[in-house]
Amino acid sequence: MKMSFWERITKIDRRIIYIILAVVIILPLILTFNLPGKVRAMPRTQNVFDHIEGIDPEGKRKALMLSVDFDPQSEPELKPQFEAVVRHAFARDIPVVVLTLNTRAPGICEEVLLRLSREHGKVNGEDYVFLGFGWPPVPVLLGMGRFIDRTFRTDYYGTPLNQLPMMDDIRNYDDVGLIITFTASTFYQTYIVYAYTPFNVPVATGVTSVSVADIYPYLGSEQLIGMLAGLKAAAEYEGLVKEKYFPDKPIFLRATQAMPALSAALIVILLFVIIGNIGFFATRRKK
């Protein structure tokens, strides 16, 4: 029996859709196609940037604490966010304390810190400290509110924290200007409950796009000062940092490069959804 056009459309092989999507993503990446204008920072991203701008390295030397709580599955969305924030902190000479609550994240942290510290001339123990993996989360978060050096006795490389010059001024959350947790899970809630609520330390989060809708209530209640939402927020943050601190320096901005491909893919998916729905209603009417 001969199928109508709309019947053929609704029964299209999914592998053809995969190929179309792959082509639509690969072409803008290869052709280094740029979208007109620039990626505009959303207020929730701008808030994180502005807060870090307010951590004054000339006044009391407050640190930026980055909790890298994602694993390789979420790396494409969250690693560019983490990189952009570290670059911002290095550009402003803010001490960076990095830790992780995920067993599969230490390798990611180490790779980013080594690469960016080389790029910006920063020294381990003086400009940044990598505390390593802490577990279980609740005692770690509560413990750091009192004494970081009793919660993590050594850094990731086994050096006692009292031998790291940067940690002389950073004893607990009183010396931390902002905590950002990069997570594909619900660690932002853990930080809200066990760091923000008892110790009143400002908390922000960097999350995958999937989690965004769940986080808006915490922005409305001002328990989070801001949020980096998915790959787009990473591109927004990369743009903010580059524009202010490295306008002429050639830096590879992974998320910014991905934006044309992301836009093209989303337009194609929108078309698929529209065509699929028209096909569904057209074939249903025929039946």
Please, which residue, 7 or 75, has the CB nearer to another protein? Answer: 75
Helix (H, G, I), strand (E, B) or coil at 218: helix
> Least Å distance between CB 148 and another protein?
14
Residue 141 zone, left/alpha/beta (φ > 0; ψ -120 to 50; rest):
alpha
> Least Å distance between CB 209 and another protein?
4
> Least Å distance between CB 14 and another protein?
8
Q: Which two tokens stand for residue 256?
A: 């910014």
Q: Which two tokens stand for residue 119?
A: 């790029």
> Least Å distance between CB 161 and another protein?
11
| Residues at the site binding another protein, with contacts judged by CB under 8 A | 15, 18, 21-22, 25-26, 29-30, 32, 43, 73-77, 103-104, 106-107, 132-135, 138, 142, 152-154, 156, 158, 189, 192-194, 196-198, 208-210, 212-213, 217, 219-223, 230-232, 250, 252, 254, 257-258, 261-262, 265-266, 269
- Burial degree of 59 (CB within 10 A; 0-12, 13-18, 19+): exposed
CA atoms of 7 and 2, how far apart (whole Å): 10
CA atoms of 94 and 245, how far apart (whole Å): 14
Please, which residue, 6 or 188, has the CB nearer to another protein? Answer: 188
Please, which residue, 172 or 189, has the CB nearer to another protein? Answer: 189
